Structure 1
């Protein structure tokens, strides 16, 4: 019977961690789920949600990661994966193969997704654009009072 493990038990409830700014993108907020600590850096898992309307998007980039999935939990987002536009809606799961060039360029105000990446300290590198990117959908602005 296995009595030792290289990872720890982790249980993160909604009130345990808060959404904060200061992550990879300044127009998103991130909620750490404690997985990087529990796996000693093998995997990171966080919730990502829209904080501001899309203007420039993420830009073309790729990640140096062995594993990367996105689970859309609320709303929707439009990505370019290489030269393919992809609409990802609540309930959809995307596996981003290592090194795939992509660009998240549009999303709904309620967009939220779970991102799981290994290793936890993965790198993000800007890359040359393989194609043009459509414009984002403008968010409705509140009426002036």
Structure 2
């Protein structure tokens, strides 16, 4: 017998069904909802995230209140600090951000776009003290 507390709905979102919008976690990105949060009753969110403005100060050091978080880079690149390790994430790369890992997205390309899958859907972000300084972003030409 199926556990009804885990029930989800079928969803099929086509490219023109949802638009990129502002108002997500970061004001320098735009977000496109892929319908997963509604289909999973808030257990998981899947969204496309795209650069909307040049990096000035980045995200700052933070952790997410999430049980699961992956980033799959679709276009361009982003530079993160994960704890004290600088990490270049390029198109085709997939990163699993373990719960509680301190990180800082400090630079990205103008064409950066990634798929983000996070559980729960309403995950939070908490600023924390970082283990080291993060490099400055490069200027966009």
TM range (shorter): over 0.9
Indicate yes or no: 2:110 matched with 1:105.
no
Offset of residue 52 of structure 1: 0.3
| Superposition deviation, residue 121 in structure 1 | 1.2
2:56 maps to 55
Query: Unaligned stretches of 5+ in structure 2?
Result: none
| 2:131 is the alignment partner of 1:130 | yes
Query: Which consecutive aligned stretches of 4+ in structure 1 deviate over 3 angstroms post-superposition?
Result: none
TM superposition shift of 1:127: 0.3
Mapped to 1, the partners of 2:67 and 2:23 lie a distance apart of 24
Residue of structure 1 in register with 2:18 after alignment: 17
Q: Root-mean-square deviation (CA), in Å?
A: 1.4
Listed as ranges, the gaps of 5+ residues in structure 1 are: 141-145
| Residue 19 of structure 1: how far off its partner (Å) | 0.3
Distance 1:24 1:66 in 2: 17
Aligned runs of 1:1-145 on 2, under 5 Å?
6-140=7-141
Secondary structure, counterpart of 1:37 in structure 2: helix
How far off is 1:135 after superposition? Answer: 1.1
CA distance in 2, matches of 1:115, 1:35: 11
Equivalent pairs counted in the alignment come to: 140
Answer with 1 or 2: which has the greater Rg: 1
Deviations 1:65-97 (A, max 9, x none): 110000000000000000000000000000000
CA distance in 2, matches of 1:121, 1:135: 30
Q: Secondary structure at the match of 1:36?
A: helix
Write the distance in 1 (CA, Å) between the matches of 2:76 and 2:89: 9
My pick for the range that moved more, 5-14 or 108-117, is 5-14
